[in-house]
Chain A
Amino acid sequence: MKVKKSNSFLAPFIVLVVIVCVLELLVRLLKISPTVLPTPSSIAVALFVNFRQDILPHLLWTLRIIGLGLVIGIPVGLLLAAIFSQFDILIAATTPLILILVTTPLITIVPLFMLWVGFNPGLRFIIIVIQVVPIVLLNTLSGFLKVPKKYIELSKGYGATKFQTFMKVIFPNALPQVFTGIKLGCIFSTIATISTEFVGGNIGLGYRVVYFSSMLETELVYAVIICIGLVGFILYQLASMLERRIVTWVI
């Protein structure tokens, strides 16, 4: 179903406002303890007052780790998919491994990772790369392998080289799946980054959640959670925007 553009923005906004108002009312009327569930308004105030000093530096750090992970992980995933697609044996040999990499929660290797490279939080982007590469690889590869035979025939019929066939047929045909991979990569890189920050270190939004909880600063915990949610949301939206700009032929 097609939704009018103005509605697709306005409708969710109204829903959000209603939820916030209902929460505010409920928390006040039921006199819920602010340590358990603070009112949305007090969370907003806490966010506003503490943002620059206590949240922003950690937000920037988290963004940096996610960004590095994506900037390295996406091209590597694409490149590996392109190489794998040329060799059936490689696909057969590595598919189980890739699946295991995708499905194993990466938080489990964080402690190990610290054994390998030490506690330098600046190196954590490597974990994000390990998370993003297989996700992008898996989705892109399935796009590369699902080319309708008739398009390959067309390409061959004009004497295209293998490289031309890849650039003019296989790659554009896979673009929708490539973007699925990138969007999933955005989501999972956010999750992975926050997870690593939960496990250790003293920087990043994930660390901030743990820290404020231990201080019983519940308003600030919620404030940071909102920031984390926004990071994932905005990343996803950016990828979707890019997709709409590039994949213009799909209706």
Chain B
Amino acid sequence: MSAAKIKMEKINKVFKTKRQTIVALSDIDIEVGEKEFIAIVGPSGCGKSTIIRIINDIIKPTSGDIYIDGNKFGKKVPREVVRKMGFIFQQPNLLPWLTVRGNIELPLKVFGEYNSASKDKTDVLLEMMGLKEYQNAYPSALSGGMTQRVGVLRAMIHNPEILLMDEPFGALDEKLREQMDIKLLEIWERLQQTIVFITHNIVEAVLLASKIYVMNTNPGRIVEKIEVDFPYPRDPEILIDPKFIAYTNRIVSLIGELHLKEIK
């Protein structure tokens, strides 16, 4: 079997403040295959966002090893490898002093890869997302949905091999979120990237991922790995499949049970 695209081995993250020590992540083992779409689901505070921030070197783990494409990088993934990743934030996190176009092209400029061809590429993407006429607008002039689309384009402009998504549709209402999920699946089936998708929405996780890591709090840890046995391309019909409901119930029981244990 070929090496995993992303592998985390015994990752720990401890935050120390003057008053207390918080174990944010405890012995995290994760494996994501090439072109696989996985989800990490868990209650808030379980450290799921920290995991993807460790993968692209925003946060440094206290101990453990990260492997990308089979290469062992220890606690720090080097810059060249980080640049193969795209990160989509929960809040779009656009820079207010850059226009829509400027925000989308930011990664290319940081990488020193901006050239005359980049402009055409941005044009195509803007057209695709229906943002063409807003290309010179500042983010403050856009609606929430539009800014999130800009955030998605920024994460895709450099054709990343890995997409790290931190509750990207968490701020959207139920219906819009479902539409975006379907759209994301379409894009993924076309571009074949490796995706790590963070969410606290269990239905969303089961709909999208082929593998789900269920996490819980205190300390942040993985309590179960669930393989979702629905073939791609997926139809929204599966939402009412008994098997689908069984998966969601299983996850609810995992997170719920653990919460009860803690209360005792």
> Do A and B bind?
yes
A interface residues (Cβ-Cβ under 8 A, vs B): 150-151, 153-161, 164, 168-169, 172-173, 175, 247-251
Give the residues in chain B near A157, CB-CB below 8 Å: 53, 56-58, 82, 85, 87
When chains A and B are docked, how far (Å) is the Cα of A250 from the Cα of B93?
16
Assess the B58–A156 pair: CB atoms within 8 A: yes
Assess the A164–B110 pair: CB atoms within 8 A: yes
In B125-167, which residues have CB < 8 Å from any A CB? 138, 140
Assess the A249–B138 pair: CB atoms within 8 A: yes
In B39-76, which residues have CB < 8 Å from any A CB? 53, 56-58
Contacts A153-B53, A164-B110, A168-B110 hold; do A159 and B80 have CB atoms under 8 A apart? Answer: yes
Assess the A159–B79 pair: CB atoms within 8 A: yes
Contacts A153-B53, A154-B89 hold; do A159 and B110 have CB atoms under 8 A apart? Answer: yes
Whether a CB of chain A sits under 8 angstroms from the CB of B91 is yes
Size class of the B contact interface (CB-based, 8 Å):
20 to 34
**A–B pairs, 26, beta carbons within 8 Å:** A150-B91, A154-B87, A154-B93, A154-B95, A156-B56, A156-B57, A156-B58, A157-B53, A157-B58, A157-B82, A157-B85, A158-B106, A159-B57, A159-B82, A159-B110, A160-B110, A161-B79, A164-B110, A168-B95, A168-B109, A168-B110, A173-B97, A175-B97, A247-B97, A249-B97, A249-B138
The A interface is mostly helix, strand or loop, or mixed, namely: helix
Whether a CB of chain A sits under 8 angstroms from the CB of B107 is yes
Give the residues in chain A near B177, CB-CB below 8 Å: none
When chains A and B are docked, how far (Å) is the Cα of A154 from the Cα of B57?
11
Whether a CB of chain A sits under 8 angstroms from the CB of B35 is no
When chains A and B are docked, how far (Å) is the Cα of A221 from the Cα of B89?
62
Assess the B106–A168 pair: CB atoms within 8 A: yes
Chain A's closest residue to B112 (CB) is A164
Measured CB to CB, the closest approach of chain B to A181, in angstroms, equals 18
